[in-house]
Homo-oligomer: A and B are copies of this chain.
């Protein structure tokens, strides 16, 4: 079924997040405590729904970025822990709402909250977590951080709405697609990385470096995510291979295959994406067309392109274990299996 990334690359990817994990281990312990505590409520259903997703084994990459980017500029206070938890709550809220919007059945290999508690609870607990995220930011009291993160919240929602317009629309260009993933995914990576130097009172150049690192890392991350939807296995992904195909999502592998395809191939894509003829047989055929046109390989190549920009964004910063760890994250994202 067209597994594109070799195991070797996968292992290298899996290894390369280790430095970030090690550097942020102690602080992440506090972030995880804070997450559990702030997901609490006297309203019983809230912690139930929230913890279902919180405990589902996400990597917590975004809060680790916040912690590392604060540490690397010598930050010694407590606020980065609260900001990191805020960032993870913003992400969790988005996932809860996404699953409702996409009508998803599985997330990270588990039933989605909406399948267990219904769409209603998913929408409202998402709203609760977003509220809690803002409360933690307000506790930190940095208007600059509030500005960055509230702007990100708006942009993420814009990206999700843009994505509705892109769904089932094969006239979507690569540029349209990039606008969507920049808003829905890269904006939060960027905000997560930028609030580190801000809370550490680093200079404008350092802020700009981390912001640029974050946005390009986020683009690479989402491109690989969209490639993996056609190239991984359900176990690796925690979701079903071909989910995007069945939902008629127009991601870059589809865009490239459609644009590079013959008239007959385009007719196939229209039936599959626009008319929901997207069963197992069609998925098999789609994977064949992607292989023929190098669509997955080129999606990964685009990810490497943005990974390179992220790398250069950090280049001017002095060497440190944190800088090395953040550079490793780029490799992890570009080479990851899940």
Contacts and interface: CB of A to CB of B under 8 A. Distances in A.
Interface string A142-165: 010011001101111110111011
A143 B138 contact: yes
A128 B101 CA distance: 14
B135 A123 contact: no
A101 B130 contact: no
A45 interface: yes
Contact of A100 (B43, B119, B151, B156): B119
Contact of A147 (B44, B100, B138): B138
A186 to B, nearest CB: 16
Contact of A124 (B101, B132, B143): B101
A44 B179 CA distance: 14
B153 A124 contact: no
A164 B130 contact: no
Contact of A127 (B119, B147, B160): B160
If over half of A's interface residues share one DSSP class (helix, strand or loop), that class is named, otherwise mixed; here it is helix
A141 interface: yes
A46 interface: yes
A56 interface: no
A147 B43 CA distance: 21
Given A119-B119, A150-B134, A153-B131, A43 B124 contact: no
Given A120-B164, A138-B147, A158 B41 contact: yes
Contacts of A100: 119-120, 123
Contacts of A164: 45, 120-121, 124
18 contacts: A43-B161, A45-B164, A46-B158, A123-B123, A124-B157, A124-B161, A128-B157, A128-B158, A130-B130, A131-B150, A131-B153, A131-B154, A131-B155, A131-B156, A134-B146, A134-B153, A135-B147, A135-B150
List the 5 closest pairs (A to B, CB-CB), nearest first: A131-B154, A128-B157, A131-B153, A127-B157, A134-B150
Given A100-B120, A124-B160, A131-B157, 11 more contacts: A42-B158, A45-B164, A45-B165, A46-B158, A97-B124, A100-B119, A127-B153, A130-B153, A131-B156, A135-B150, A138-B150
